[in-house]
Chains A and B, each alone.
Chain A
């Protein structure tokens, strides 16, 4: 399992390929038949307004712990081999990736369902907060929409 909170932009597909080839394939060669991935990126619109940029704040320490707890819970429910979570903080621009959640398992059911569960739990529990920059003002995002 790897959980990374980062200030700098990242390339999710390169990070995924690197983690799979350097870590997952090394530990679980021939064992993972399924991987599921979610990548969330920044939109340039929200609630009818154009959004120019975004600042993501987090609670250092608790964010990593809560993500670790979410993964541990997922491991109790599904047969996972490995997990990778990368989440941006700091200043973001539209199109930039915000979050990557990837899981590896022997079979697709575990991968699909665990990836979804981890992502939804991250949205509702991991202590991150978004502040949007509009043309001439900024605003905190009140709450995340329910993904189910």
Chain B
């Protein structure tokens, strides 16, 4: 299956892109998506994860076509 990956802010700069479409096995978590999209880098402990624009645990299962976003702690307001 494929999922759409997005990176924001400092993470976007570190990854060198704002996202990609990633092919991954049928049974996969958000953490697996990170590994596939980052080329196997360890996920920094402070990275936040959202699937389809809702915060979730990195262990959440993803489905084909999901939008999986990774970003640093938020600093709005």
Chain A residues within CB distance 8 Å of chain B: 40, 56-59, 61-62, 65-66, 87, 98-99, 119, 122-131, 140-144
Known: A61-B53, A62-B53, A129-B8. A144 touches B74 (CB 8 A): yes
Stretch in B22-30, B31-39, B65-73 with 4+ CB within 8 Å of A: B65-73
Which residues of the partner chain A approach B54 to less than 8 Å between Cβ atoms? 62, 65
- Asked whether A142 lies within 8 Å of B77 as measured between CB atoms, the reply is no
Chain B residues within CB distance 8 Å of chain A: 6, 8-10, 50, 53-55, 69, 71-77
Cα–Cα, bound, A125→B73 (Å): 9
- Asked whether B53 lies within 8 Å of A99 as measured between CB atoms, the reply is no
- Asked whether B72 lies within 8 Å of A144 as measured between CB atoms, the reply is no
- Asked whether B74 lies within 8 Å of A57 as measured between CB atoms, the reply is no
Nearest A residue (CB) for B9: A129
Nearest A residue (CB) for B52: A62
- Asked whether A129 lies within 8 Å of B74 as measured between CB atoms, the reply is yes
Cα–Cα, bound, A72→B35 (Å): 34
Cα–Cα, bound, A107→B40 (Å): 54
- Asked whether A129 lies within 8 Å of B71 as measured between CB atoms, the reply is yes
Q: Which one of A40, A59, A98, A140 contacts B69 once the chains associate, using CB atoms below 8 Å?
A: A59
Nearest A residue (CB) for B46: A143
Q: Looking at B6, B53, B69, which has the most chain A CB atoms within 10 Å of its CB?
A: B53
Which residues of the partner chain A approach B76 to less than 8 Å between Cβ atoms? 56, 58, 87, 98-99, 122-123, 126-130, 144
Q: Which 5 A-B pairs have the closest CB atoms?
A: A128-B76, A129-B9, A62-B53, A123-B77, A141-B75
- Asked whether A143 lies within 8 Å of B55 as measured between CB atoms, the reply is no
- Asked whether A131 lies within 8 Å of B74 as measured between CB atoms, the reply is no
